[in-house]
Chains A and B, each alone.
Chain A
Amino acid sequence: AQSVSQHNHHVILSEAASLELGCNYSYGGTVNLFWYVQYPGQHLQLLLKYFSGDPLVKGIKGFEAEFIKSKFSFNLRKPSVQWSDTAEYFCAVIPGGTSYGKLTFGQGTILTVHP
């Protein structure tokens, strides 16, 4: 069964620090990849997605992610975090070639940014 691993459960940073959150998936075929963010008390919001094309994708709020097929990875990055980035971040996968279907989520990474 396919799975998604997020290596860090809790990351603590100071404002202006750089961020990289790891995400690896286990699925041999084509995949569609997503990062969602859940701010405290709010619902999941889409940060960015990758379906095909340029493996470096840019999302909202200055986030970007790089798809590295050989490493089965889709790490999330931001050069300079802000206090308002404090949230939980989820990586998710859906098999490519299908337009619809269930998302498989990682366990989530809680990011705490100190001012």
Chain B
Amino acid sequence: NAGVMQNPRHLVRRRGQEARLRCSPMKGHSHVYWYRQLPEEGLKFMVYLQKENIIDESGMPKERFSAEFPKEGPSILRIQQVVRGDSAAYFCASSYQETQYFGPGTRLLVL
């Protein structure tokens, strides 16, 4: 059973561009979570999704950030018009029950 997959592992964008981060949950997991890890900080919750539904987006910045988990395909975290402050590691986790299993993360660098 493959683990949580994330791609790309590293992403470089210039200010103003869009970043799309993908997450494929573990097989059989229908719950997906996104977390952000800023330098020198712990992981901060961003959003929790089930198939075709956003359950909790209390950690999402109000502007430029969006997430989806369509019926088919991976979950996508989209950041529009990136700024340098968006540089961070973005981790996806999936769960079947209480325990969340994490992917390897996408390290976003905004130049």
Minimal Cβ-Cβ distance residue in A for B56: A102
Give A46's nearest chain B residue, CB to CB: B99
Chain B residues 1 to 54 lying within 8 A of chain A, measured CB to CB, are 4, 31, 33, 35, 41-45, 48
Contacts A90-B43, A102-B48; is A36 near B102 (CB within 8 Å)? yes
Across the interface, which residues of B come within 8 angstroms of A90, CB to CB? 42-43
Q: Are A102 and B58 in contact (CB under 8 A)?
A: yes
Binds B, one of A57-65, A75-83, A105-113: A105-113
CB distance from B74 to the nearest CB of A (A): 16
Tally of chain B residues near chain A (CB < 8 A): 26
Instruction: Let me know if A99 and B56 touch, CB within 8 A.
Output: no
On chain A, which size bracket covers the interface? Answer: 20 to 34
Q: Is the CB of B45 within 8 A of A104?
A: yes
In the complex, what's the smallest C-beta–C-beta distance from B100 to chain A, in angstroms? 6
A and B contact pairs by CB, cutoff 8 A, 24 listed: A34-B99, A36-B102, A43-B4, A43-B91, A43-B102, A43-B104, A43-B105, A44-B43, A44-B91, A46-B99, A46-B101, A51-B98, A92-B43, A99-B97, A99-B98, A100-B55, A100-B98, A101-B48, A102-B45, A103-B33, A103-B93, A105-B42, A106-B42, A107-B41
Residues of B within 8 A of A (CB): 4, 31, 33, 35, 41-45, 48, 55-56, 58-59, 91, 93, 95, 97-105
